[in-house]
Amino acid sequence: MSRDRFGPAMPVTARRRTAKLATIPVAYAGRRAVGVGKRALGRPREQVEQELQERTAEHLFAVLGELKGCVAKLGQLLAIFELGFGGPHREALARLQEAAPPMLPSAVHNVLRTHMGEDWRAEFREFEDRRAAAASLGQVHRAVWHDGRTVAVKVLYPGIRTAMESDLAQLRRLAILAPALFPGADTDRVVDEVTTRLRNELDYAHEAANQAAFAAAYADDPEFLVPQVVGQFGDVLISEWVPGIPVARIITSGTQDQRDRAAMLIWRLNLSSQYRCGLVHADPHPGNFRLLPDGRLGVLDFGACAVVTGDQQTLLRELSEVFLTGTPPEIEAMLRKHGVIRDDRPIDMDAVVDRIRVVFDPIMAASFRFTPEWGRTQVQAVTSPQLSNVHRQLTIPAQLTDSVHAVTTSMGVACQLQARGAYSAEVARWVPGYAEALAKRVSREA
């Protein structure tokens, strides 16, 4: 293990990281071979496949957590699928999203000196060497800026860019896992999207611009607090400090009112931001939100924001309307038009419509309660190894990937919070045409 500027117990050399990642497909191949033997001895195919999924996920999350950096970030992107698995791998995933070994103060000071100058301390009245929070690509320190404001100083891990390029090359070698974890996935496209997102998150100038856009759109908002950017200096990003209770803590010990409010505000943010500033927060996991004493939601980490264009909004509206009011042939035509189903692929539209109906439950009912059981059912439906699984025959249009990821992750957080709310009314508030389509659907079923 390296004891360099990253701090202790963190494998950062290319050789060590490659060796760690290489264990994943090798172990998967071994488990697959054992599974063939079990089936030959009469074990049910679905039972064997389910065991393979669970053990592969456990190993994957454990290795990603050890490696930190970019592959750990990939694990966070996959974290929504934790709802779909049971067993001991959940502990590995929990560790993945917790704090990692900290950078030594000398390493932090070196980054600040490199990007802010030798007299960097003159910019601060106070600077706490002990980190306040950790992320997969950097860590945060609390400080007092020279004008008296309390600020969060986000420092990128030194050497992370070099590690990232090695990690990204290795990710493509993990494609063998796609059939086990995500049946029907377009693995090359997924890796391309992850690559783009990770590189964006290493660009603090990009993150600062996203944050500034959100801050302008939600300035003086009674429900949201987006911190102002105080300064960006290369691999150092300084923002106003956001107080409050982390949503991750509300998941474990919050009141029901706190749970309901946090989930609804995360949902509202993802719906409203695409119309208020043309962006969506594409990484809405619990660690990026705080519930303030006055009830506002503090929003953090804008590295993984995605631009939402007018064409994308139109596509979302068209798909929503046809799902609510269309006949199976009309739904099929729309899905083929936008490449969700390939033109040359036959498909069981009754099964597709049944799945759509279940997924739309939260935004059709007057009130809906998310539960871990509901979320687990949805994820297991997507990852089912059965050849008849219609999800194997569907794909998400590339231009909607970030928006869909934001929605599904928000649902995953709501399931962890076990939150109840009028989510349908919120969609009707922000998505043009949705209220009319829902009213048409209700009238037809009456």
CATH code for position 127: 3.30.200.20
Q: Which two tokens stand for residue 432?
A: 């043009």
User: Would 93 be classed as within a structural domain?
Assistant: yes
Q: What angle do CA 179, 184, 187 make, to 5 degrees?
A: 75
Point out the least confidently predicted range of 187-191, 239-243, 403-407.
Answer: 187-191
Domain range enclosing 383? 245-446
Pair (339, 446) in one structural domain: yes
Terminal CA-CA length for the chain: 65
**pLDDT average, residue stretch 231-252:** 96
Write down which residue in 240, 266, 290 finishes a domain: 240
Pair (122, 269) in one structural domain: no
Residue 36 exposed, middle or buried by CB count within 10 Å (0-12, 13-18, 19+) = exposed
Place of tokens 């006949």: 327
Residues in the chain: 446
pLDDT at 173 over 80: no
Q: Determine the pLDDT at residue 5.
A: 41
**pLDDT average, residue stretch 5-20:** 48
Residue 405 — very low, low, confident or very high, per pLDDT cuts 50/70/90?
confident
Pair (262, 288) in one structural domain: yes
Residue 424 — very low, low, confident or very high, per pLDDT cuts 50/70/90?
very high
Q: Which two tokens stand for residue 412?
A: 């995953």
pLDDT at 172 over 70: no
CA 408 to CA 393: how far, in whole Å?
19
CA 140 to CA 100: how far, in whole Å?
12
CA 293 to CA 341: how far, in whole Å?
47
Q: Determine the pLDDT at residue 50.
A: 59
User: Would 407 be classed as within a structural domain?
Assistant: yes
**Sign (positive or negative) of CA dihedral 406, 408, 410, 416:** negative
Q: Which two tokens stand for residue 406?
A: 């934001």
Q: Tell me the pLDDT tens digit for each residue of 148-171.
A: 999 999 999 888 887 777 666 666
Pair (139, 282) in one structural domain: no
Q: Determine the pLDDT at residue 294.
A: 96
What's the total number of domains in the chain?
3
CA 89 to CA 262: how far, in whole Å?
27
Question: Given the DSSP bridges, would you call strands 150-156 and 236-240 parallel, antiparallel or unpaired?
Answer: antiparallel
Query: Contact 282/73 with Cβ under 8 angstroms?
Result: no
User: Would 78 be classed as within a structural domain?
Assistant: yes
Pair (188, 112) in one structural domain: no
Pair (235, 318) in one structural domain: no
The chain-wide mean pLDDT, for the chain, equals 78
**139 strand-pairing partners:** 134, 155
Residue 260 — very low, low, confident or very high, per pLDDT cuts 50/70/90?
very high
Q: Cα 295 to chain center, whole Å? A: 24
Query: Contact 287/246 with Cβ under 8 angstroms?
Result: yes
Pair (185, 213) in one structural domain: no
Pair (226, 302) in one structural domain: no
**pLDDT average, residue stretch 235-253:** 95
User: Would 395 be classed as within a structural domain?
Assistant: yes
User: Would 219 be classed as within a structural domain?
Assistant: yes
Q: Tell me the pLDDT tens digit for each residue of 75-89.
A: 444 544 444 444 444
Pair (84, 218) in one structural domain: no
Residue 256 — very low, low, confident or very high, per pLDDT cuts 50/70/90?
very high
For residues 109-144, one letter each, b for 16 or more C-beta atoms within 10 angstroms of the residue's C-beta and e for the rest, the string is bebbeebbeeebeebbeebeeebebbbbbbbbbbbe
Q: SS3 string of the chain?
A: CECCCCCCCECCCHHHHHHHHHHHHHHHHHHHHHHHHHHHCCCCHHHHHHHHHHHHHHHHHHHHHHHCHHHHHHHHHCHHHHHHCCCCHHHHHHHHCCCCCCCCHHHHHHHHHHHHCCCHHHHEEEECCCCCEECCCEEEEEEEECCCCEEEEEEECCCHHHHHHHHHHHHHHHHHHHHHHCCCCCHHHHHHHHHHHHHHHCCHHHHHHHHHHHHHHCCCCCCEECCCEEEEECCEEEEECCCCEEHHHHHHHCCHHHHHHHHHHHHHHHHHHHHHCCEEECCCCHHHEEECCCCCEEECCCCCEEECCHHHHHHHHHHHHHHHHCCHHHHHHHHHHCCCCCCCCCCCHHHHHHHHHHHCHHHCCCCEECCHHHHHHHHHHHHCCCCCCHHHHCCCCHHHHHHHHHHHHHHHHHHHHCCEECHHHHHHHHCCCHHHHHHHHHHHHC
Which of 208, 209, 226 lies closest to 217, judged by CA? Answer: 226
User: Would 76 be classed as within a structural domain?
Assistant: yes
**pLDDT average, residue stretch 273-277:** 94
Which amino acid belongs to residue 54? Answer: E
Pair (176, 258) in one structural domain: no
Region label for 308, one of left (φ > 0), alpha (ψ between -120 and 50) or beta (otherwise): beta
Pair (229, 331) in one structural domain: no
Q: Tell me the pLDDT tens digit for each residue of 113-126.
A: 999 999 999 999 99
User: Would 402 be classed as within a structural domain?
Assistant: yes
Q: Cα 359 to chain center, whole Å? A: 18
User: Would 293 be classed as within a structural domain?
Assistant: yes
Pair (64, 110) in one structural domain: no
